[in-house]
Chains A and B, each alone.
Chain A
Amino acid sequence: DAKTTQPPSMDCAEGRAANLPCNHSTISGNEYVYWYRQIHSQGPQYIIHGLKNNETNEMASLIITEDRKSSTLILPHATLRDTAVYYCIVKNTGNQFYFGTGTSLTVIP
């Protein structure tokens, strides 16, 4: 399984864009990049996923580099409710998710 590397913590000012990086240099050609977040004491929440192309939904944008070795999750206008641990996951062909340590994002008023 491809391993992911994320910074352990980040801060972001409320209203600004939060850019969360993830390295996955050993990703295989058919593996997807997924992002989840976990707000304290809740189950993880799906955010977005992608293979090669950039993706956008109502929650966030996902930018994947051309060589697919890294990606960035962008929360365009961070709010206090976006304070959470964000997990970048590479999904293997067996459908299992293997969570790394994630990035603890704190949105500051």
Chain B
Amino acid sequence: SAVISQKPSRDICQRGTSLTIQCQVDSQVTMMFWYRQQPGQSLTLIATANQGSEATYESGFVIDKFPISRPNLTFSTLTVSNMSPEDSSIYLCSVEDTRGETQYFGPGTRLLVL
């Protein structure tokens, strides 16, 4: 399975600011995914990020609020823009394995917006 790291692991931010979360994987992968997990809730898919193309966003998520970059096959960033307390969540990235069968998740970034 792939080894995935995320930076930062946690952060406390002021409303109105933006935070960029990094996701690094130890092998080349085609598909990466970003999820949000609000307090006490399950995971919600934000978007799918393929290298060399624009990210595909799920219903309820827009590029202006959650811009995503995917510059190469081992790295992606998710920016949470113009944050409000409602954005306080755990943000997780995941990658699809080379056989396209399953996903492996990073440890998550815990964000608190004051």
Contact = CB atoms under 8 A, between A and B. Distances in A.
Interface stretch (A23-31, A62-70, A73-81, A96-104): A96-104
Interface in B66-104: 92, 94, 96, 100-104
Q: Is the interface of A mostly helix, strand, loop or mixed?
A: loop
Nearest to A44: B105
A43 B110 CA distance: 11
With most chain A CB atoms within 10 A of its CB, the pick from B45, B48, B101, B103 is B103
Contacts, number: 46
Given A46-B1, A49-B101, A98 B45 contact: yes
Contacts of A41: 108, 110
A40 to B, nearest CB: 11
Interface string B1-25: 1001000000000000000000000
Interface of B: 1, 4, 31, 33, 35, 42-45, 48, 58, 92, 94, 96, 100-108, 110
Interface of A: 34, 41-46, 49, 87, 95-102
